[in-house]
Amino acid sequence: EAQVTQNPRYLITVTGKKLTVTCSQNMNHEYMSWYRQDPGLGLRQIYYSMNVEVTDKGDVPEGYKVSRKEKRNFPLILESPSPNQTSLYFCASSLVRGLGEQYFGPGTRLTVT
Amino acid sequence: GENVEQHPSTLSVQEGDSAVIKCTYSDSASNYFPWYKQELGKRPQLIIDIRSNVGEKKDQRIAVTLNKTAKHFSLHITETQPEDSAVYFCAASSGIGNEKLTFGTGTRLTIIP
């Protein structure tokens, strides 16, 4: 089954404790992206990757890191989480850049206390 | 960068009536405009998209229109049904290679039985 998976689905952590949210897709998509969703603000792009070893900043990259060492995986790293990073995070992938359907993962709800 | 504004933020319509959601974008280079539907607690899913060389696209009860001159596009849902209740997001694809997808802030559509 073609899918995008994220782990964990729910996470409660404390300020400053490094964490990683994993994202994996099995559709051989070149393009992957991370978004955060906050009430009233819609979906905002954090980072995207056009292919292996190619990543770039989206609209809200501060406080986040990403890596793309393999085509299927695109982890999101919060080196020192802060309460303003409490949000719902979605990973997405598509066959070609931002064109065409982006397939979203199930989301990760992160709470930073 | 691209800025996408979406209106209204909430919309209630009687079952069977039509619903219209409008978006404007700022980057004249944007050329791909998808609409995503997000049901409560679920991930966003593409429902329809349009490219800038097309003025209108229909898929059963859903249609999207694009006015490139005015830089706005709209989602039209006819003969609304209870299962149409959801949050709808418009988006515009920009960047040199359409690598960035900027979303609107969302419209919560409620269908009143």
Residue A26 to residues A11, A85, B50: CA-CA distances in angstroms?
Answer: 24, 28, 26
Backbone angles phi, psi at B82, to 5 degrees: -55, -35
* pLDDT range class, residue A63, cuts 50, 70, 90: very high
Mean pLDDT (chain B, rounded) = 94
What band does A77 get if pLDDT is binned at 50, 70 and 90? very high
A8 touches chain B (CB under 8 A): no
Between residues A55 and A96, the one the model is more confident about: A55
Residue B71 has pLDDT above 70, yes or no: yes
Task: Indicate if the pLDDT at residue A98 is higher than 70.
Answer: no
pLDDT at B97 over 80: no
- Kindly report, residue by residue over B103-112, the tens digit of the pLDDT: 999 999 999 9
Nearest to B101 among A98, A105, A106 (CB): A98
CB A112 within 8 A of CB A15: yes
Tell me the pLDDT of chain A averaged across its residues: 95
Mean of pLDDT values over B58-81: 97
Strand partners, B30: none
How distant is the Cα of B35 from the closest Cα of chain A, in angstroms? 10
What residues in A contact B106, CB-CB < 8 Å?
42
Whether A18 shows a pLDDT value over 80: the answer reads yes
Q: What are phi and psi of B84, to 5 degrees?
A: -80, -10
pLDDT-based confidence at residue B1 (cuts at 50, 70, 90): confident
- The number of residues making up chain B comes to 113
Confidence category of residue B94, pLDDT binned at 50, 70, 90: confident
Of B43, B104, B105, the CB nearest to A90: B43
pLDDT band at B99 (very low <50, low <70, confident <90, very high): confident
Chain B environment of A100 (Cβ under 8 Å): 49
Interface of B with A (CB under 8 A): 1, 6, 9, 32, 34, 43-46, 49, 89, 91, 93-95, 97-106
Predicted local confidence at residue A96, as pLDDT = 77
Note the pLDDT of residue A99. Answer: 73
